[in-house]
Amino acid sequence: MKFRHGETVLVSVIVVLMMLSSFSSAVDAQGTSTNTPIKHLVILMMENHSFDNLFGVYGMTENGTIEKNLSLPENLLTGNLTSNLSSVPNGVFSTSNPYEGYSNYHTDWNNGHMNGFINGSGPSSMTYFTASQMGPEWMIAQQYAMGDMYFSEMLSMTLPNRLFSISGFTPLTTDQSPPPYVLYSDTIFSELDSHGVSWGYYFQNPSLGEEPLNLVYGIGSHAADIGTWNDFVKSIQSGTLPDITWVSPISGGTIEIESQHPPFNVLIGELWILYIVHLIMESSYWSSTAIMITYDEGGGYYDQVAPPVIGGEQLGFRVPFILISPYAKEGYVSHTVMSHTSILGFIDYNWNMPALNKLVLDSNLPLDMFNFNQPYSTGNIARPPMAWNRSQLALIPNSLVNSTNKSLNYSNVGGFFPVGLQYPVSDLPYASSGSSTFNLSQISSNVYISNETGYYPVPAQGFSLSTGVLLGAVAAVAGSSAITAYFIWKRRRL
- Which pLDDT tens digit goes with each residue over 414-427? 999 999 899 999 89
Measured CA to CA in angstroms, residue 328 lies from 119, 229, 418, 479 at distances of 40, 25, 18, 56
Which of 15-24, 162-171, 277-286, 451-460 has the lowest average pLDDT?
A: 15-24
Task: State what percent of residues in the chain have pLDDT above 70.
Answer: 85
Within-domain flag for 287: yes
pLDDT per residue as tens digits for the range 251-270? 999 988 999 999 999 999 99
Q: Are residues 485 and 356 in the same domain?
A: no
Within-domain flag for 449: no
Q: Are residues 417 and 363 in the same domain?
A: yes
Q: Which residue range is the domain that position 307 belongs to?
A: 8-442
Give the model's pLDDT for residue 431. Answer: 96
pLDDT at 484 over 70: no
Give the model's pLDDT for residue 134. Answer: 97
Q: Are residues 358 and 425 in the same domain?
A: yes
Residue 82 — pLDDT band, cuts 50, 70, 90?
confident
Instruction: Kindly report the three-state secondary structure assignment for every residue of 340-373.
Output: HHHHHHHHHHHCCCCECCHHHHCCCCHHHHECCC
Q: Are residues 362 and 482 in the same domain?
A: no
Please spell the DSSP secondary structure of 122-148, one letter per residue. Answer: -GGGGEE--HHHHHHHHHHHHHSEEES
Average pLDDT estimate for 356-367: 97
Q: Are 160 and 152 in contact (CB under 8 A)?
A: no
Which of 89-103, 143-157, 286-300, 401-415 has the lowest average pLDDT?
A: 401-415
Q: Are residues 256 and 139 in the same domain?
A: yes
Q: State the distance between the two ends of the chain, measured CA to CA, in whole angstroms.
A: 24
> Which amino acid is located at 238 in the chain?
S
Give the integer Cα–Cα distance in Å for 63 and 78.
18
> Which amino acid is located at 390 in the chain?
R
Give the model's pLDDT for residue 286. Answer: 98
Q: Are residues 476 and 333 in the same domain?
A: no
Q: Are residues 372 and 243 in the same domain?
A: yes
Give the integer Cα–Cα distance in Å for 38 and 51.
26
Within-domain flag for 2: no
Give the integer Cα–Cα distance in Å for 223 and 240.
17
Within-domain flag for 438: yes
pLDDT per residue as tens digits for the range 303-333? 999 999 987 889 999 999 999 999 999 999 9
pLDDT per residue as tens digits for the range 209-248? 999 999 999 999 999 999 999 999 999 999 999 999 999 9
Residue 164's SS3 state is helix
Q: Are residues 204 and 267 in the same domain?
A: yes
pLDDT per residue as tens digits for the range 427-482? 999 999 999 999 999 999 999 999 988 888 864 333 333 333 333 333 232 333 33
Phi, psi angle pair for 447, to nearest 5°: -130, 150
Q: Are residues 92 and 147 in the same domain?
A: yes
Strand partners, 128: 87
Q: Are residues 269 and 362 in the same domain?
A: yes
Give the model's pLDDT for residue 179. Answer: 84
Average pLDDT estimate for 147-169: 97
Give the model's pLDDT for residue 26. Answer: 59
Q: Are residues 195 and 327 in the same domain?
A: yes
- Say which CATH number the domain at 198 has: 3.40.720.10
Q: What are the start-end ranges of the H helices in 158-244? A: 158-167, 188-194, 229-238
Within-domain flag for 1: no
Task: State what percent of residues in the chain have pLDDT above 90.
Answer: 75
Give the model's pLDDT for residue 27. Answer: 56
Strand-pair category, 433-436 with 470-476: unpaired
Give the integer Cα–Cα distance in Å for 104 and 117.
8
Total number of domains in the chain: 2
pLDDT at 410 over 90: no
Within-domain flag for 202: yes
Average pLDDT along the chain: 87
Q: Are residues 485 and 361 in the same domain?
A: no
| Residues 6 or more apart whose Cβ sits within 8 Å of residue 296 | 45, 46, 47, 48, 152, 158, 161, 162, 165, 319, 340
Within-domain flag for 224: yes
CA dihedral 178, 341, 147, 117 (to 10 degrees): -40
pLDDT per residue as tens digits for the range 14-64? 334 444 444 445 555 455 799 999 999 999 999 999 999 999 999 999 989
pTM of the full structure: 0.89
